[in-house]
Structure 1
Amino acid sequence: MQSAVEVARLVVLAVSLYASAGYWNQDYHTPKLSGQEWVNELLRSHLNCIRTELRVRLHL
């Protein structure tokens, strides 16, 4: 019974955080990079980064 109450509390907490304005207003691109620096970072970073940002694979 006590674990069900704890699960319910966690669900309420998760829903309230998800619904809060701060959750949706977080910046995605925070670094202050020039265009060339940003491209260099994409080329040097994890392979999925360039795919996420540009929707292309690195070999293209």
Structure 2
Amino acid sequence: MNETERDFLMVMRRKKKISQRTLAQALGISQTLVSFIENGTREVDKNYIDQYKKYILEK
């Protein structure tokens, strides 16, 4: 995922007032993994990224 996509997801999450913790709980992943996705700190399985996108866009 490129930086623009990561920024978009983070902005959308914040705009909808969803915390990383809340998102992580809804997806069944750790808050740390949400942070990795948003910051591009590590390679993350595409499945987690797809779940993140789906959750954020449907809320």
Question: Shorter-chain TM-score: what band?
Answer: under 0.3
- Larger RCO, structures 1/2 (Cα 8 Å, 6+ apart): 2
Taking structure 1 as the reference length, what is the TM-score of the superposition? 0.25
Structure (1 or 2) with the larger CA radius of gyration: 1
Taking structure 2 as the reference length, what is the TM-score of the superposition? 0.25
